[in-house]
A and B are shown apart, each in its own frame.
Chain A
Amino acid sequence: DQQVKQNSPSLSVQEGRISILNCDYTNSMFDYFLWYKKYPAEGPTFLISISSIKDKNEDGRFTVFLNKSAKHLSLHIVPSQPGDSAVYFCAASVGSNDMRFGAGTRLTVKP
C-alpha cells in the first residue's frame, strides 16, 4: 500500500521561478517528514525535514510546508536553479520506525 504518494511524476519550471513539489500521505500517525533529492547514478541525499509539531520549515531556498488536516506536504524551491534538476522523494515515518517513501517527482529546471 502506498502510504506516501507523489502524484506528479515530473515537473518542469523556468530558472528563477518557484518549484512546488507535492506529497500526500494516508497514515495520520506519521509524525516526521523528509525530502530527499536524487541525481542519476547517486544515492538520495537528505534535503530538509519537518516534524508534525510544525507547519513550516525553511532552509535557504528550500521550504517545506505541512498541512496535517489535509495530510499534505509540499516543498518549495525559490528561486529554482538548473542544478536543482533531480528526482525528489518525500518520506514519512512514525517516530523512529521505518520510513515510507513516495515514488518521486522528476524536477527539470530550464535555463
Chain B
Amino acid sequence: KAGVTQTPRYLIKTRGQQVTLSCSPISGHRSVSWYQQTPGQGLQFLFEYFSETQRNKGNFPGRFSGRQFSNSRSEMNVSTLELGDSALYLCASSLLIGGGLNTEAFFGQGTRLTVV
C-alpha cells in the first residue's frame, strides 16, 4: 500500500510569507501528526489530528496551525515566517490516536522548508 506522502518536498520562502504543507496519510489511517526536525533539537511535536479534530498540541506559537479533511489528509500552515522556521517538517500517520499502545507511526519523507 502507498506510504505517507508529503508535498512539496522542498520549499524556499522569504521572511514574513506564509506557507502551507500537505500530508496524505496511509489509506485507512485516521491520525496525522506533524513534527519539526532541526539539527540539535531532534523531532519536536507540533500537533496531532484525528477525525478532523486537533487532539494534541505541542509548544509552538500560534503561527503554526493545521487542519485535517474528511479524507484524513492534513495541511499545516505557518504564517509570518521567521528564519528559525527553516527545518524539515515531517508528518506521521497511524491507525489510532497517538499511535496507540501497540502500533507505530509511519512517517513521510518530509518537506524541507528554507526561509531566507
Residue positions of A touching B, CB distance < 8 A: 4, 6, 32, 34, 36, 41-46, 49, 51, 89, 91, 93, 95-104
Contact = CB atoms under 8 A, between A and B. Distances in A.
A89 B42 contact: yes
Contacts, number: 64
Nearest to A90: B42
Contact of A96 (B44, B45, B98): B98
A89 B42 CA distance: 8
Contacts of A97: 56, 98
A44 B33 CA distance: 13
B110 interface: yes
B44 A101 contact: yes
A32 B96 CA distance: 15
Contacts of A104: 42-43
B98 A99 contact: yes
B4 to A, nearest CB: 7
B101 interface: yes
B100 A96 contact: yes
